[in-house]
Amino acid sequence: MRLLALIAARGGSKRLPGKNLKQLGGRPLIAWTIERALRTSAFCDVLVSTDDSAIASVARERGALVPWLRPAALATESATSAAVARHALDWYERAHGVLDGLVLLQPTSPFRSLATIRRGLALFVEADRRPVIAVTHAVPPDGSGWWITDGLLMPSPDVGADVGASVGNTRVRVTGALYIIAPCDLRKHGTSYGAGAVPLFAEDAPDCVDIDTLADWERAEALMASDERLNAEDANW
Domain region containing 74 = 3-231
What does 52-121 look like in DSSP terms, one character per residue? -HHHHHHHHHTT-B--SPPPGGGSSTT--HHHHHHHHHHHHHHHH---SEEEE--TT-TT--HHHHHHHH
**pTM of this structure:** 0.92
DSSP code at position 224 = H
- d(C-alpha 147, C-alpha 153), whole Å: 6
CA distances from 61 to 4, 21, 108, 182 (A): 19, 13, 19, 29
Over residues 6-59, the pLDDT tens digits come to 999 999 888 899 999 999 999 999 999 999 999 999 999 999 999 999 999 999
- d(C-alpha 153, C-alpha 148), whole Å: 5
CA distances from 77 to 81, 112, 185, 222 (A): 10, 25, 24, 29
Number of domains in the chain: 1
Answer yes or no: is 236 within a domain: no
- Inter-residue contact 24 to 224 (CB < 8 Å): yes
Answer yes or no: is 87 within a domain: yes
Answer yes or no: is 58 within a domain: yes
- Inter-residue contact 182 to 100 (CB < 8 Å): yes
Answer yes or no: is 12 within a domain: yes
Q: Is the pLDDT of residue 161 over 60?
A: no
Answer yes or no: is 68 within a domain: yes
Answer yes or no: is 237 within a domain: no
Answer yes or no: is 195 within a domain: yes
Over residues 102-153, the pLDDT tens digits come to 999 999 999 999 999 999 999 999 999 999 999 998 877 776 678 888 889 9
CATH of the domain at 49: 3.90.550.10
- d(C-alpha 103, C-alpha 46), whole Å: 9
Q: Find which of 77-81, 139-143, 189-193, 194-198 is predicted with most confidence, using mean pLDDT.
A: 77-81
Which residues pair with residue 28 across a beta bridge? 23
Answer yes or no: is 18 within a domain: yes
- d(C-alpha 95, C-alpha 147), whole Å: 38
